[in-house]
Structure 1
Amino acid sequence: MQIKLVILDRDGTINRASDEFVKSPDEWHPLPGALESISRLNHAGFHVVLATNQSGLGRGLFDMAALNAVHGHMLKNLAAAGGRIDAIFYCPHAPDEGCACRKPAPGLLMQIQERYGIDLAGVPYVGDSLRDMEAAQAAGCAPHLVLTGRHPDMQNQALPPKFPANTRVHADLAAFVDHLLGDASSMSQL
């Protein structure tokens, strides 16, 4: 039996994004309802995994100790909300390094597929940017865009044609979870 999995981006999806990068726990601020939404996913039997570009490492803006401190702070806050993240996959490279793991490349998602030994076809990937949606499409995931990060102005607008045609749009992570759990409960009644 395949596990129930949801893959999330971090900045702009779970916490506020920053053009200056999130370099310390003090700079990490959860988006309203995001931690509770992850908890709801966990309680519905979903494993939650992160796939996040962290080019601040490659740019020398912070080091591994700082990234680990940010993630420790995030996980502690999430645990207080009754949730957990099973694994964090991140790309440490700067944009000009030409790696295979920096989104929009699907490398991080392929790492998740290999680690969990599952096919990612149809697995929801939730992010706030075009490159998240492109990575999701390249890996066979179902792309879900939240409007809490890079594209808040797209509410009630058609997505530009550069987005994958099957991209679903949600106001925030809570709206995505409502959508997913609503679909899951209707499927279980069949």
Structure 2
Amino acid sequence: MNKAVFLDRDGVINEVKTSRVKFVNKPRDFHFLPGVKEAVAKLHECGYDIFVVTNQGGVGLGYMTESMLKEIHRHMVEEFEKAGAYIKEVKACTHKPHEDCECRKPKPGMLNTLIEKHNIDRRQSFMIGDREVDIEAGYAAQVTSLMVGNESSQAKFSFKDLPEAVKWICEEKN
């Protein structure tokens, strides 16, 4: 079985609601947070499959199209690859926020689908997010949940940012 790290996108990988960008609705709005590319490359070196699982209700609400979202993700994956960081798959819930679908975090649908598809060992895997819905989705999928950028009473641990969380994973869990 494989071990994996599931990453939320906005607020973990890239800027959102900053002075430079409010929402990421176009590739030009996508700005990596400091040290993220290198951190994801380190996860790959430590033997983890890396997945991005993101709620993108802006598609369902009409703020962006499905094709624009795919373009944003293509851009993100290409930029990661240039840094030696490899994303195995990106999953996005594009339903409206209150549609009560099974894929929108805090429900574990996206994670469970990837876990089954890629033969992932839940006990050796992590969900890293910046909001409680990410933490809840991780626990619902039976992986260890880590919070970045915020404090969480639900997360196993909280970290300043993704590079700090990755350092802990690679040093403590390998």
Which TM-score applies when normalising by structure 2? 0.92
| 1:57–1:63 contact (8 Å) kept in structure 2 | yes
| 2:26–2:69 contact (8 Å) kept in structure 1 | yes
- Does residue 146 of structure 2 align to residue 144 of structure 1? yes
- Does residue 163 of structure 2 align to residue 177 of structure 1? no
| Runs of 4+ that moved beyond 3 A | none
**Pairs aligned (count):** 171
- Does residue 15 of structure 2 align to residue 16 of structure 1? yes
Q: Distance in 2 between matches of 1:129 and 1:92?
A: 18
> What is the Cα deviation at residue 107 of structure 1?
1.0
Fraction of identical pairs, as percent: 34
Q: Give runs of aligned pairs for residues 122-133 of structure 1, distance below 5 A.
A: 122-133=124-135
Alignment partner, residue 6 of structure 2 = 7
Q: Secondary structure at the match of 2:122?
A: coil
Question: CA-atom RMSD, angstroms?
Answer: 1.6
> What is the Cα deviation at residue 184 of structure 1?
3.4
> What is the Cα deviation at residue 118 of structure 1?
3.3
| 2:4–2:124 contact (8 Å) kept in structure 1 | no
Q: Distance in 2 between matches of 1:167 and 1:76?
A: 31
Say which of 71, 82, 85 aligns to 2:84. 82
| 1:122–1:140 contact (8 Å) kept in structure 2 | no
Q: Distance in 2 between matches of 1:184 and 1:123?
A: 10
| 2:8–2:134 contact (8 Å) kept in structure 1 | yes
> What is the Cα deviation at residue 138 of structure 1?
1.1
Q: Could you give the per-residue CA deviations for residues 60-107 of structure 1, whole angstroms, max 9, x where no partner exists?
A: 111111111111111121112111100011111111211011111111
Q: Could you give the per-residue CA deviations for residues 96-123 of structure 1, whole angstroms, max 9, x where no partner exists?
A: 2110111111111111122123342351
Query: In terms of Rg, which structure is larger?
Result: 1
Gaps of 5+ in 1: 186-190
Alignment partner, residue 39 of structure 1 = 41
